[in-house]
Structure 1
Amino acid sequence: MSERIANDKLRGKVMSPEGAAQFVNAGDKVGISGFTGAGYPKALPTAIAERAKAAHDKGDDFKIDLFTGASTAPDCDGVLAEANAINFRTPYQSDPSMRNSINAAQMKYADIHLSHSGMYMQQGFFGQLDVAIVEAVRITEEGHIIPSSAVGNNVEYLDAAQRIIIEVNSWQSEHLEGMHDIWRMPQLPNRIPVPITSPGQRIGSPWIDIDLDKVVAVVETNSPDRNAPFKPADEVSQKIASNFLDFLEGEVAAGRLSYDGYIMQSGVGNVPNAVMAGLLDSKFENIQAYTEVIQDGMVDLIDAGKMTVASATAFSLSPEYAERMNDQAEKYRDSIILRPQQISNHPEVIRRVGLIATNGMIEADIYGNINSTNVSGTRMMNGIGGSGDFTRNGYISSFISPSVAKDGAISAIVPFASHIDHTEHDVMVVITEYGYADLRGLTPRDRAKKMIAIAHPDYRPLLEEYYERANKGKFLHTPHDLPTAFSFHTNLADKGSMKG
């Protein structure tokens, strides 16, 4: 694989993962590549986990603080969590073992907006970064890094770290070179406008330049990204997608959107992919995306000629589509741009391009507050990710979800959200399989009626009963009956169902 390491100085630093792991010490702050199961280091996490296990067997402590772009995969976040090798983790995760450790208070976790996390590192909020571990497609003759399937916070971690380890992964297609657009966000107080006025605009270079003297090891790998396949769209997902398209058609009819000019952002998951499948047969043409991740549905839209460009920071593809991307990267790099997440999620650019944001949720309350992160207010799922970046700054912000979960035991619409990530001031549209609630310009009392109307029929009487009880209070701008505001959640805890 030497042709992938074209720099003579760095070719001389090739070693085993176990050898490279010796440069990661207990107590180190480690920044790694990776975003939604793409572009994360494949070999070093296991080697570091083994070091931690060996230290623990001797009675010694071995934990690191781990910084990523977003979630990674079982062979990264998972193996480190299982080895009890992480003290602190940020900004976003989705691994079951890691989630269990966080909820058991065995691992510290800071849930940070993705657009903020790189800035935190740049400005030194976390202290000195000891090591950056970044996956690359190849290293150029000059020693520049060609990133792989995710950019994330790579630039910030490579700039900040005292030591750099590069994993060169031959599984990743060399034809990804040219897909990336690397533009550094200047540090305060020297900020300038981000010069992007449309999703397809390139403003930087296709590589990341680094300080070669900081590189202590290069590791060769040949391992795929690990993403779970998306489930086929079920009847509920198809209804949600249909309701979302009805909302878009309403915007066209109102003169606020055209069939040739839809710019989208989409969160990750089965329902968002169902929405994109619905767009395939819609009247919308020349769709553009300015988003975090490229999903299967976007690849289908590109293949069908319905989407002209997709700008993101990473892929989030099923194994089948990841193989397709590898096989045809040379074709797709004409219509896909991968940027640092400080740029893909930048509020300035999101507001400028006028995109319509669509994200998932755990629950919404009757006044339009959204909980994206904590089940029943206390059990962390994954984190806020970039949903806040796009919700607060998008032209239109929408949230999509089935109306119930756990075979009807949990309602997605509740009297009062048990945790609030997105306030009523930022949430514009909420969509379930029972319709959409357009909350724009409405008072809290008017929003409540629309939100109850899209709840599952089994829960509408309970929500109406709560709302009637709340309206017997003294102050009625946002009526609440505090003694019973969380009755849905206490019923779930005590009886296993929000119905009680």
Structure 2
Amino acid sequence: MSTESRILCPQLQQKVMSADEAAAMIPAGATVGMSGFTGAGYPKAVPGALAERIKAHNATGAAPFRINVLTGASTAPELDGKLAEVDGIELRLPFQSDPICRDRINTGSMNYTDLHLSEVSQYAWSGFFGKMDIAVIEVIGIREDGSLIPSSSVGNNKTWIEQADKVILEVNSKQPLRMEGMHDVYYGTALPPHRKPIMLTEAGQRIGEHYLRCPIEKVVAVVETDSPDRNSPFKKPDDASRKIAEHILEFFDREIKLGRLPKELLPLQSGVGNIPNAVLEALDSGPYKNLTAYTEVIQDGMLKMLKSGTLSVASATSFSLSPDGIAEFEENIELYREKIILRQQDISNHPEVARRLGVIATNGMIEADIYGNVNSTHVMGTRMMNGIGGSGDFARNGYLSIFMSPSTAKDGKISAIVPMVSHVDHTEHDVKIIVTEQGLADLRGLSPRQRALEVINKCAHPDFKAQLLDYYERACASGRGMHTPHLLSEALSWHERFEQTGTMKPE
């Protein structure tokens, strides 16, 4: 099907133009809301054209041309990478994973606001980001009445369209039009004190509309594209990932036998990456049937589970598929359209819904300390990696919050279990389970000192276990306080040692 046939609204057919022409409508200093979530559904042409314009402008020696970029989550090199490369971003939020962005954030040349993904829409509506000048949104089609068929992510698109003074649409013919009907856009949200309950009691419920509403008069440009989403291949699970998955499945089996989980478990939330995919793969090979997912992202592992019947329905806000995953999705799209629901992220990540459904949240971490605090974002306490994403939305509000990591990094030079985390994203109060390939620590109902021994004995690598026990025992003997014993002069010494010598191991 041609791109032209996807623009069925006569008024918007008159606004078709090139990416360069559309990018010329974005002024320096603008706040721009762009579609995109984990490398899916982001604009493919306008950001690159804007980057070229910024590059040419800055070459003249004039005042720097920069914009504020707001998205759903991470995007791709065609957006984040190109704009960061020409130093075109003043402020970026709420999440990113681009190496050029990361470098600019950590050198201080780009401001970055790391937010819980469920709160971004509320922040925008409350005015904390100021006026939104323009929204640049990818869709897969425009209907006769001007309503929009969403793309492979919904993210914050509803909010950006509502908030922006002007809207630029990219109509991407590479995305399969057969996705139409998969989306569920809810128009019942409001700010306090006018909020009403989000009436989702099952992961597979639909409460909204298939399409995005957009006043035709707001649309200033329509750009035709034919480009795929970013689709990085997933690595095959390594030994550590498989062992982590085994520990989690053994835990699920035990919880079912104890009557604390039903045999269908509870709705699954899975972070993005190789370890979460290993967990999904293990679930698919186990005895489970008719599981459900209430999560942010549909990964390859969930497609396999939907196809096999292990998973009956998956609710998310976006895809994050490998090339093989995209091929599988497009080949069997009719099957998946009946089992997948894509919502906006203030619903997919809504704390009220996560608490009501009793979500089982599984997310990665950079490090955890002996008392159960988790660092998801900062390397050695100061250098931003990607951001908190939606992990906090689900960790605090889910029935189970599971954080996973190999027990070491950098060829064994870094321990993922440390005396005190160098940055806290998830406090000990929100962390229920910590898992490494060494074992699983169930922290529920334990006091701080009990948690410390559970984490050290179950999760620490043998190369660091004795060192952690020594720290803990000396902290207890210090007499400084026995509720959460610490040696303040040593609590971050492991990180300092790595910075100075390249390893956390003592000489």
Scaled by the length of structure 2, the TM-score of the pair is 0.98
Q: Could you tell me which of 375, 380, 386 is aligned with 1:382?
A: 386
Alpha-carbon contact 2:115-2:388 (below 8 Å) kept:
yes
Instruction: Name the amino acid aligned to 1:73.
Output: A
Shift of residue 216, structure 1, vs aligned partner: 0.3
Query: 2:386 aligns to what SS in structure 1?
Result: coil
CA distance in 2, matches of 1:119, 1:68: 14
Alignment of 1:76-95 (within 5 A): 76-95=79-98
The answer for unaligned runs of 5 or more in structure 1 is: none
Shift of residue 496, structure 1, vs aligned partner: 0.3
Shift of residue 211, structure 1, vs aligned partner: 1.1
Shift of residue 3, structure 1, vs aligned partner: 1.2
Query: 2:12 aligns to what SS in structure 1?
Result: helix
Instruction: Give the corresponding residue for 2:498.
Output: 492
Shift of residue 280, structure 1, vs aligned partner: 1.3
Query: 1:399 aligns to what SS in structure 2?
Result: strand
Q: Could you tell me which of 455, 459, 467 is aligned with 1:462?
A: 467
Alignment of 1:129-144 (within 5 A): 129-144=132-147
Q: Could you tell me which of 125, 136, 140 is aligned with 1:122?
A: 125
Instruction: Name the amino acid aligned to 1:462.
Output: Q
User: What percent identity do the matched residue pairs reach?
Assistant: 55
Instruction: Give the corresponding residue for 2:14.
Output: 12
Q: Could you tell me which of 148, 151, 162 is aligned with 1:148?
A: 151
Instruction: Name the amino acid aligned to 2:165.
Output: Q
Alpha-carbon contact 1:294-1:315 (below 8 Å) kept:
yes
Report the RMSD for the aligned CA atoms in angstroms: 0.8
Query: 1:248 aligns to what SS in structure 2?
Result: helix
CA distance in 2, matches of 1:188, 1:464: 48
Instruction: Give the corresponding residue for 2:70.
Output: 67
Q: Deviations over 1:209-235 (max 9, x none)?
A: 111101000000000001211000111
Alignment of 1:25-104 (within 5 A): 25-60=27-62, 61-104=64-107
Q: Could you tell me which of 379, 396, 402 is aligned with 2:400?
A: 396
Instruction: Name the amino acid aligned to 2:71.
Output: T
Instruction: Give the corresponding residue for 2:170.
Output: 167
Scaled by the length of structure 1, the TM-score of the pair is 0.99
Instruction: Give the corresponding residue for 1:270.
Output: 274
CA distance in 1, matches of 2:262, 2:86: 52
Instruction: Name the amino acid aligned to 2:32.
Output: V
Shift of residue 9, structure 1, vs aligned partner: 0.4
CA distance in 2, matches of 1:280, 1:195: 30
CA distance in 2, matches of 1:206, 1:497: 52
Query: 2:272 aligns to what SS in structure 1?
Result: coil
Alpha-carbon contact 2:266-2:291 (below 8 Å) kept:
yes
Q: Deviations over 1:390-414 (max 9, x none)?
A: 0000011110111011110111000
Instruction: Give the corresponding residue for 1:237.
Output: 241
Alpha-carbon contact 1:32-1:154 (below 8 Å) kept:
yes
Instruction: Name the amino acid aligned to 1:282.
Output: G
Alpha-carbon contact 2:266-2:357 (below 8 Å) kept:
no
Q: Deviations over 1:28-56 (max 9, x none)?
A: 00000000000000001101101110110
Alpha-carbon contact 1:173-1:327 (below 8 Å) kept:
no
Instruction: Give the corresponding residue for 1:302.
Output: 306
The answer for unaligned runs of 5 or more in structure 2 is: none
Alignment of 1:339-418 (within 5 A): 339-418=343-422
CA distance in 2, matches of 1:225, 1:291: 20
Shift of residue 472, structure 1, vs aligned partner: 2.0
1:247 and 2:251 aligned: yes
CA distance in 1, matches of 2:358, 2:116: 20
Shift of residue 190, structure 1, vs aligned partner: 1.8
Instruction: Name the amino acid aligned to 1:12.
Output: Q
Q: Could you tell me which of 238, 241, 261 is aligned with 1:257?
A: 261
Query: 1:333 aligns to what SS in structure 2?
Result: helix
CA distance in 1, matches of 2:60, 2:376: 41
CA distance in 1, matches of 2:433, 2:302: 22
Shift of residue 178, structure 1, vs aligned partner: 0.3
Shift of residue 299, structure 1, vs aligned partner: 0.3
Shift of residue 292, structure 1, vs aligned partner: 0.4
Instruction: Name the amino acid aligned to 2:173.
Output: S
Query: 1:471 aligns to what SS in structure 2?
Result: helix
1:192 and 2:192 aligned: no
Q: What number of residue pairs does the alignment pair up?
A: 500
Q: Could you tell me which of 293, 303, 308 is aligned with 2:297?
A: 293
Shift of residue 383, structure 1, vs aligned partner: 0.2
Shift of residue 125, structure 1, vs aligned partner: 1.1
Q: Deviations over 1:167-199 (max 9, x none)?
A: 000000001110000002223332111111100
Alpha-carbon contact 1:73-1:227 (below 8 Å) kept:
no
CA distance in 1, matches of 2:406, 2:424: 19
